[in-house]
A and B are shown apart, each in its own frame.
Chain A
Amino acid sequence: MNWNFIIFSLVKLAVIVGVVQGLVAYSVLAERKISAWIQDRVGPNRTAPPFMKYVPVIGPFLTRLGMFQPLADGLKFLLKEDFTPAGVRKIYFWLAPALAVIPAMLTVAVIPFGSNLGDQKMVMADLNVGILYTFGIVSLGVYGIVLAGYAANSKYPFLGGIRSSAQMISYELSMGMSVIPVLMIVGNLNLSAIIGWQSTHGWLVLFSPLSFFIFLVASFAETNRLPFDLPEAETELVGGYHTEYSSMKFALFFLAEYSNMVSSAAMMVTLFFGGWTLPFWGLDQPATSLLLGVAHILVFMVKMLAFMVLFIWVRWMFPRFRYDQLMDLGWRRFLPLALFNILVTAIWMWLTAK
């Protein structure tokens, strides 16, 4: 029994879960703030714990930034009545939020968020099948939503569930296809190896921009974000698959959506933007000192947050796709495009092979 391994894994696990949850909470705030700025508003700027008024400059500043809003939101969700409507299929109704959150959290496990701190690799599980694992887990995420739609025994959630299942399965395909050129170029499924390849050859987005583009759009669809938020289209479906949910069960769906955003942002950074590496300041090699290790983690976080901002930013630009347009885009545009991309990459590799 390797106690060292167990202890360090547990610490990493706690830190990762904590950081992801924090990111989720604060990305809700970021969403509200950025939305407000785009719409010429101020956004949440009131909420603060009572003792904050005794903190001189920082207190009001943080309050105006809305830094305490997520705490209030979380507390509100916890304290609300957890209502189970009559006529729902109880077991599935209770199971669905958990099934939505678990895959969302699991995907983070294989993502290398830094090189190393001391002699600990900054990744939960350095799997050799990293990408396959991620895709496997991500496709489980649809069950939570479909079950929620089915269990609620109400027509709007049901429609949301149906839409979601079709949408996620369709875009799963083009997402998977879009990554294949990356795997062909790198020749390895391990995410750490992909980052290692990028640190010597350059970021993969330069080698396969089409892959990145398809992956980006597909991840918008996978995370049910606008313009592909058909499963929770408020204007059409009341609230979508989580209409009948309340309190913490509703919050779990929220959590799942934002965790999905976090993990797909992290995936994009890892696959296409060099993960924790930067091509300058000597940040492209595994860290030799503690400071460099921290710098790597920060680089990763900054890249990931940039993608989170993009997710939020895009939300206020496009009207929602119509359902048939969505399917058309997924099956008749992106799938052929991804296949074409694979072909082009293969020909290019064949031509450049020695």
Chain B
Amino acid sequence: MIVDRRPLTFWEKLYLPAIVGGLKVTLKHAYSTLIQRKVVTMEYPEQKWTLPENYRGAPYLVKDQEGSTKCVSCQLCEFVCPPKAIRITPPGASGQKADRANAEKMPKEFEINMLRCIYCGFCQEVCPEEAIFLLKDYSITSTSREELVYNKEKLLALGGEHGGIQKWKHKLEEAKAQENFPVKV
């Protein structure tokens, strides 16, 4: 293949028009930044992004609308977590009961190591209780590694409340209703 290379004209060979053109372009940009204040960058801590609705930030535990822990310590998220960032300590046989009626248990301790977390969202996806969500926090900082292992209180405090169907609330009545199912007349 033959590339058609046009020979440079006299003015192009002189470079000078190109130099003037370059000066003009840079001057225009300097003018728009300095005088018109059109800056393409953002001054981060003061200005922040508006995050998209489906943004995956740090995973936190949420409470239901009555303020009780939604997590039932099933440990599915712990098993699914690819970088093994989640560590759940279940209450055990004689451990603490859940802080709401009918729910069987809640985790004794729930830790997420934010240094390990890769924000994949598998935990949120796998959770049968809608108890863990990837919220919009992206700036996770601390002065030590230990601080970045978030425990249950911290996760619940950060996660806030997330309403929805309260799966366990009417479980008892439902179970009783089941017992008398074929309704005896």
Contact = CB atoms under 8 A, between A and B. Distances in A.
Contacts of A39: 29
Contact of A40 (B19, B41, B43): B41
Given A317-B22, A317-B23, A317-B25, A41 B40 contact: yes
Contact of A318 (B22, B39, B43): B22
Interface string B5-42: 00000000000000100110110011011100011110
A207 to B, nearest CB: 21
Contacts of A317: 19, 22-23, 25-26
A234 to B, nearest CB: 20
A36 B26 contact: no
A41 B41 CA distance: 6
A38 B39 CA distance: 10
Interface string A298-319: 0000000000000001001110
Contact of B39 (A34, A41, A313, A316): A41
A71 interface: no
A42 interface: yes
Main secondary structure of the interface of A (DSSP, over half): loop
A37 interface: yes
Nearest to B38: A40
A34 B33 CA distance: 10
A45 B45 CA distance: 13
Interface string A38-59: 1111100100000000000000
B22 A37 contact: no
B43 A42 contact: yes
A317 to B, nearest CB: 4
Interface string A144-156: 0000000000000
A170 B43 CA distance: 45
A226 to B, nearest CB: 12
Contacts of A37: 29-30, 33-34
A317 B43 CA distance: 26
Contact of B33 (A41, A313, A318): A41
B29 A38 contact: yes
Contacts of A316: 26
Interface string A79-94: 0000000000000000
A260 B33 CA distance: 29
Nearest to B41: A41
B23 A313 contact: yes
Given A40-B29, A42-B33, A317-B19, 5 more contacts: A36-B33, A37-B34, A40-B33, A42-B43, A316-B26
Interface of B: 19, 22-23, 25-26, 29-30, 32-34, 38-41, 43
22 contacts: A36-B33, A37-B30, A37-B34, A38-B26, A38-B29, A40-B29, A40-B33, A40-B38, A40-B39, A40-B40, A40-B41, A41-B33, A41-B39, A41-B40, A42-B33, A42-B41, A316-B26, A317-B22, A317-B23, A317-B25, A318-B19, A318-B22
